[in-house]
Amino acid sequence: MKQVALITGGTRGIGLGIARQLALKGFDLALNGIRPEEKIHGILEELRRTVPEGSGQNITDSSAGKGTDIIYCRGNIAVSGDRNRVWGQVLEHFDRLNLLVNNAGMAPRERRDILEATEESYQEVMDVNLKGPYFLTQKIAGHMIQQKQKHPEFRAAIVNISSVSATLVSVNRGEYCISKAGMGMMTRLFAVRLGEYDIPVYEVRPGVALTDMTSGVKKKYDRMIEEGLTLQKRWALPSDVGRAVASLALGELSYSTGQVIMVDGGMTIGRL
């Protein structure tokens, strides 16, 4: 039986990079997002045509039963009713979940110095980046515990996509930094709570990633990367993060629960 992953924010940017890699590794996918399904039809069809590596089929073989089973679960994970509906869709279609990837996130709609930031911006960012993942994980962890108790061989894991902003300060987007720092603690909390059930919980921290979220500051970071911001002189790509998550999902770091996996090209290594 194929493993099933739920990826929040899974139809664009880093989330899509994760989805592509997990599909290649043989996972069926529930993808969450907020756009109408007709807007992402092409993405969903591309993923459905993906044939897992080593299957002996052409990677774009679209014949029945040979690709990836994909469902789209539209909803804002910051909203309790939407979270419940998304989870209900996953259970109705797959009846199980092996992997939760908390990837959905947002930057402030307007970057403001912390001396001028608004309560409205702070609340919106924290709801999407931290409250939503926290309570979605709470709900799904209960299911994973039940599955492990019934079937000890059942493989389950949780991966939280954070950011180097969990530790690196940007005073013009303080709410984002605080939300990602909070996700680091959330990872450790759930790792401790779920340890007795052998359900590992990880945090993946991308560096400066080339996505639509960073498109407005591309020239700035192009220059900074060239000047030595990262040891490897390029942007992080969604596929870089996807490969890291796939390794965790396959159990290749099964004895490393609660740990932070850096995908930042050496950006956060202290240098003199």
What are 165's two structure tokens?
């902003």
Question: Quick one: which of 48, 45, 93, 40 has its CA closest to 68?
Answer: 48
Q: pLDDT tens, 248-270?
A: 999 999 999 999 999 999 999 99
Q: What CA–CA distance (Å, rounded) separates 69 from 72? A: 10
Q: Hey, what CATH topology would domain 4-263 get?
A: Rossmann fold (3.40.50)
Question: Which phi and psi angles does 138 have, rounded to 5°?
Answer: -55, -45
What are 92's two structure tokens?
């109705």
Per DSSP, the three-state class of 23 is helix
Indicate the domain borders of the chain. Answer: 4-263
Q: pLDDT tens, 24-59?
A: 999 999 999 999 999 999 999 999 999 998 766 554
Rg (CA), the chain: 18
Q: pLDDT tens, 92-126?
A: 999 999 999 999 999 999 999 999 999 999 999 99
Instruction: Give pLDDT, residue 215.
Output: 82
Instruction: Give pLDDT, residue 1.
Output: 86
